[in-house]
Structure 1
Amino acid sequence: MQLINVNTDQMIADDVKSAYTFMSRFKGLMMKKSIAENAGLHISPCSSIHTFFMKFSIDIIYLNQNNEIVGIEESLEPGKIGKRFADAKSVIELPAGTHKRTSTVIGQKVALQD
């Protein structure tokens, strides 16, 4: 899937995998050696994340039910617990630095396209 910022028409990532089952949400990016610069993982349902057993930092975009960005965390290091955002229904995990590179901000809307 591709992750597109609807407000700016910018592609945030063009290789987003889905984690919609219990096992795929549980596993997430744990034990992976890295994540490609253009990749991401959409986890749903999900309102918070952790980076235990991860080997790299990530950016996290928290989305509400309308795919509007309600929270962003930059460069969350391995072994940490992410913030909780009351309206978050899903998250997208991206390589560290994606937020700054794409100028994505809270309040914008994203689309996941095949």
Structure 2
Amino acid sequence: MKILSNSGELQEHMRLINKTNGKVLASKVEFADTFWRRFRGLMFRRNFPKGQTLLFKLAKSGRYGVHMFFVRFPIDLLYLNQDFVVVDIRRELRPWRIHRPKVKASYIVELPAGTISRTRTKLGHKLALRKA
């Protein structure tokens, strides 16, 4: 799957859906596709509104950890393989914590806390980006 963006600008015309169960995980997708956007992530933001997501495309599939240093709120994490299939899940990761997935991933999806439970997203579910 190719992911196109405008240098990480909020992609209001793109949404992230769970193709397996039809639920919308996010109606606004922000791409972390530059060094600076990947480095900064959600650090120093005041909040993470429901319906938004931050999507990281990793340069190489691997077990890359996510840290919550300087992030002020808990988040949910989805790790996806190259086919956009969920291979690892972390719910409600709190500030000042670190999480490393159990398996290799090609994408990391950061979501507002509670999104995974609300959408009933599970391991093996296939996600997709769609125009809104």
TM bracket (short chain): over 0.9
3-state SS of paired residue (1:45): strand
TM-score, normalising length: structure 2: 0.82
Pair 1:12 & 2:7 matched: no
Instruction: Give aligned-pair identity as a percent.
Output: 39
Moved over 6 A (4+): none
Highest CA radius of gyration, 1 or 2?
2
List runs of 5+ in structure 1 lacking aligned partners. Answer: none
The separation in 2 between residues aligned to 1:30 and 1:45, in whole angstroms, is: 18
The separation in 2 between residues aligned to 1:8 and 1:86, in whole angstroms, is: 23
How many positions carry a matched residue from both structures?
114
Match of 1:55 in 2: 72
| Higher strand residue share | 2
RMSD over equivalenced CA pairs, Å: 1.2
List runs of 5+ in structure 2 lacking aligned partners. Answer: 1-13
Q: Is the 8 A contact 1:48 1:91 kept in 2?
A: no
Pair 1:89 & 2:102 matched: no
- In the TM superposition, what is the alpha-carbon distance from 1:105 to its structure 2 partner? 0.2
